[in-house]
Chains A and B, each alone.
Chain A
Amino acid sequence: MIEHFTKGLFKENPIFIIVLGLCPTLAVSTQVVNALGMGAGVIFVLLGSNFFVSLLRNFIPEKIRIPSYIVIIASFVTMVDLFMQAYAPTLSKNLGVFVQLIVVNCIILGRAEAFAKNHTVSESVLDALGMGIGFTLGLLLISLIREVLGAGTITLFPFGNFDGVIRIPVIYNAPIRVIGLATGALLVIGYLKGFFDWMAIRKKKREIEKRVSAVKV
């Protein structure tokens, strides 16, 4: 049961392994605070859509499943958008059009179609949490690298006297601007994916070696 949750974090990470939702990933991974906001929005929408798609899996006829899923997803996205505009205006301004674009984020429709429609409600909720958190973690990692190298800052939420921006000495005065642009996003995602693939292959090799040596003994 618990593996429905943990698989989304690393083994089937939506960004690095399934390679879904790259469009918003490229767009909002310029600042850490945007990654957090986008992640929270995606987790909420994913939870709502997976819950209802799974709950209604015997009610929704096969023929109209895609329009039904889109209606459910769009409703949750609109809710997130309205609540953000009303109660988190700065975040809503920063994320701009990408909140509305969660509707067509392939992670959400992908999980509804590939998982929630033939699993129980509790399994689907766990899957949504895992995938959502996995997406957020991936987004955080990319945005951290891009913001530190590309702007020399780490932008978090402002509170008290702290304006929410950590400035990193040296890099702040001479940032590598290309990392902050779309090209940099592709480069960073490519290198990270290469790194994770290398780790996965190495792990597999070790397992095989272990088995081989066990057979020899």
Chain B
Amino acid sequence: MLSGSETKRNALSHQEGDDMNATSAARTGADPAVSWDDLLTAALLGTDRRPWAGAAPGRAAPTALLDAAAVATVRRRAGLRPARAARRPEPAPEDPRPVLPAAAARRLATLLADRSGAAGGGRRGSAPDLMELLPQWLAAAVGHGYAAPPQALPALLDAARGRTDLRPAALAFAGPRALWLARLNTDWRFALRAAPGGGAALPGPDDAEAVERLWQEGLFAERVALLGALRAREPALARELLASTWPKERAEDRLMFLDTLRAGLAAEDEPFLEQALGDRSRNVRATAAELLSALPHSALAARMAVRAAACVALDRTGPVPAIAVEPPLECDASMERDGVVAIPPAGRGERSWWLGQLVEAAPLGSWPERLGGRTARDIVALPVADGWQGELHAAWCRAAVRQRDAGWSRALLGAPSAPEAGGPGAVSLAERAKLLAALEPAERAAWVAGFIATHGLSEAFQLLGVCAVPWAPPLGRSVVDALNIARDAGSYPWSFSGVMGLAERCLDPAEAARLEGLLAVPDEREDAAPGAGGYWAEAFQRLVSTLRLRAAMAEELAPAGAPRAPRPEGPSVQPPDAVG
């Protein structure tokens, strides 16, 4: 057994470079009187300059030096002891979630392995885009409440590091151990930033003292997270907490805090918001007004209804009833207090600008009474005098979106097969997509299906983006039919690559069987683009194999013994910013 000091010198440690080169007496050669330091000094300078004292008779000095060094080296290596253990990290918190099924764990490894090859560009071939399926897989795994396999965490964190859109789902799935891991590697700091308080749990609503302390002393990000979490569980408590320090907050903080009230907005919030209408900051005032106008029974909504009603009236003097519009003549102080912006953007008349804001903020429920007891559908059908239709309908659209009014949304959308639905009408495609969001998923899907059946796919991308995943059967059928028609029309598939990509991710896997007939390469026709048939077959192959893969993924994630039921999911993607 080596003594304490020798153990230390001869420990496997990295204090002096990569391997063991600690100079010490423990490294002596055959002659214990000669230290490793002596050997090294002699070797560095050379035996010509410093004659080697340890030379044995009959051995040349350099050879004798090498002999001694060889013995010392083997001796040192043979006597290596383990080093003293450093301070061990705190163990990672337990992850109580059930273990991921083995097949799903293998699938995850495959999806994550594809990350390296995700470089875009070029032809896509007939194989599925695995990286594109990762968000869907993560959402499903989080939905089932599985724990991530620990050895997959580094790859998950790397994937989330490269793609911010993956982060919320990837981190939710990765769980507490990923945060523990991220503290050890600076590459993954983003995970700690994303998790409020560096992953420390936020106090619950029951712990009034901790809530109060964090609210008073916490960093801005922690306070926003606290308010948001509280709002989700105890809306009133969150509002009262905010009100308690409201006058002392900075204007930009007030704006952020006010924004958290958007979630779970209810009539009880009105007094606080009404008071915020008198805020020093214009942005805070505007946000408060916007929130109040989303409450149809608020006093602000009632004031807006009166103002809007003064501008819009039923004109019965003509052969058919029509809507007559008389926009406001001025924007007075009380209107400004209620959030109306007085100065229009460049290029717009101020009176129509004011009108738009009044109609947008007025409760939609007040119009039937004002316009002769008509329904929303009848009101939208009324002619509007003097070219005000565009302005008026656009304002109603914004109101329907803000007030989430399905009846008005339906009326403003009109029939999907109407000719103006496809062209530039009073309602733009982006507004249509927002209106659709107010409808029930089935109705939404049916409307978009009807739209595609009449107008084809070229305008459909944005609308498809707000439909629930997987697409309802009628919608799926109309997309497949439209793709089939596009192929027969002789164009190339990449003109529809956006819709194709969506279909791969959103089409119900059950549709795969119906696509079989499209996989073959058709005979080239004279009017078709050269080679298009082959590319279409390839694109359909990719679609089908992606659908099969998604079906397999869903099955692997289903808990053992549970019946497979399609779970309704939210919209597949955010309404895209750009079409195409």
Q: Do A and B bind each other?
A: no
**B contact residues vs A (CB 8 Å cutoff):** none
